[in-house]
Amino acid sequence: MARTIYTVCSRHVVRIPRNRQAANARLVQLEPGLSSLIHFLREITSGKRRFPRQQTRQVIRDVVWQVGLVLLLIESVFVAEKLLSGLLVELLAVSASFGKSLFLMAALMPEVFELALPAALLIAVYRVALGMREDREFLVLSSAGIPPYGLVRLILKIGLGAQVIALLVSGLVEPLSRFAFREVMFVAQYSALAGGTITKTRLIDTRVGTVWASPRSDEPENPRLFVRQEPQAGQERIVVANGARLTDPDRAGRVSLLLFDFSVDDFVVPPASLVPAGRPVRPMSAPVSSLRGQSTSQSMVINDVIALDPRGRDVAELTTIELFWSAGTDRAHLLALGKRLGRSLLCLLAPLIALIALSWTTRANQAFILPLACAGLMATEIIGTAALGTLAGTGLVPTLVLLVIFAATLTLALSGIAASRSSAIARPGLGRS
């Protein structure tokens, strides 16, 4: 029976079969160049010298944990920026409930996920691998005949898993969440108008005109309305109501707008030839017709009050499968499809960039090497997006083929660099004792 030797490092007890002791404290040194890449590909695909299961579970657990923390940080910053840039004011204006507010904030999170996940994966792999390197775990594994190839193979598997998750989120969750956000906001806005829960003056662009709604302290359920309409070219209509209310829609989707203590004035815009040069063309100061009354009712379609376009009007709300079927005839859909696929490939490249950055990390540059790696990842996304804009004109099949070739070439190039720097990856560089 083969004997087993247990080697102790700072965090784990590594179980090493005796037949792997032939390497005996030897780091794998690779010649730079094509031979290095060929040797790396043989090692990475041979299935030999696998990463020990105990370390594999530990690395996956640490990477997933740190990816989750970084994602939480990025998503929190993104949602906070959305709240401060206008969403919070909108929610307060319509008196949205706490549950709806939480749902709307959650629906925003997938919008940045496809870019946040590669960055989080790069940071997590870098930090986990740096900790293992400085704790001499790579030296222990190398002494057992397990070079850093096993780590490269492992993080590539993690990258593939993250790529699948990115495709699912960007191709299914994000489009549905975008529409859900519009739908819930539509319900909140309509409920505010129909239920009189407007708490501050709001500007609403509708298909029947531009509406200003302001609350009343004496009758909060009937807000004041100011409406500007353009019935036809050269005409302008101003509707002012001291109170207004919307009824619930019927089965046909029609609602009734009730106006109290209202006035309707029609104005005519004079021809431009009658306006002195240099002066703007404005309606006449006196209305051509006026109407006053105590109450009136107007029937209209609910979409005329607050528009809710069906899902799919915006390309971002289409799923990846829907984009795939329409990309052959629509260049905008092809470009959106290419962006989603290209950004998912960043999850495969991010771990390799992290290892390359690790190989150059020393005590002198450790403060800025990780930010440079993240900048390189974002630069790859920007360059790839610009290239897709040119490739989208060639058609669906050529674009997808070129995208696969580009991704494979870049992956092999980064793998070759990581292979040539394998000894630097394993050798501690921060001088910790």
Coil/strand/helix, residue 104: helix
Closest-CA residue to 306 (of 224, 160, 190) = 190
Model confidence, pTM: 0.75
- Choose the weakest-confidence range: 25-29, 191-195, 275-279: 25-29
Distance CA 174, CA 36 (A): 41
Which residue, among 167, 115, 183, has the nearest Cα to 323 in the 3D structure? 167
Domain-wise residue ranges, the chain? 32-183+321-426, 208-305
- How confident is the model at residue 47, as a pLDDT? 52
pLDDT above 50: residue 381: yes
Sheet with 209-214: list strands edge to edge: 202-206, 209-214, 224-229, 235-246, 254-268, 289-301
Mean pLDDT for 137-155 is 76
Tell me what pLDDT residue 298 has: 77
Q: Using one digit for the tens of pLDDT, what is the confidence trace for 67-113?
A: 999 999 999 999 999 988 888 888 887 778 888 889 999 999 999 99
Q: 41 falls in which pLDDT band (50, 70, 90)?
A: low
pLDDT in tens, 12-34: 444 444 444 444 334 334 344 45
Burial class (CB in 10 A: 0-12, 13-18, 19+), 356: buried
Does residue 289 register a pLDDT over 70? yes
Residue 347 has pLDDT above 80, yes or no: yes
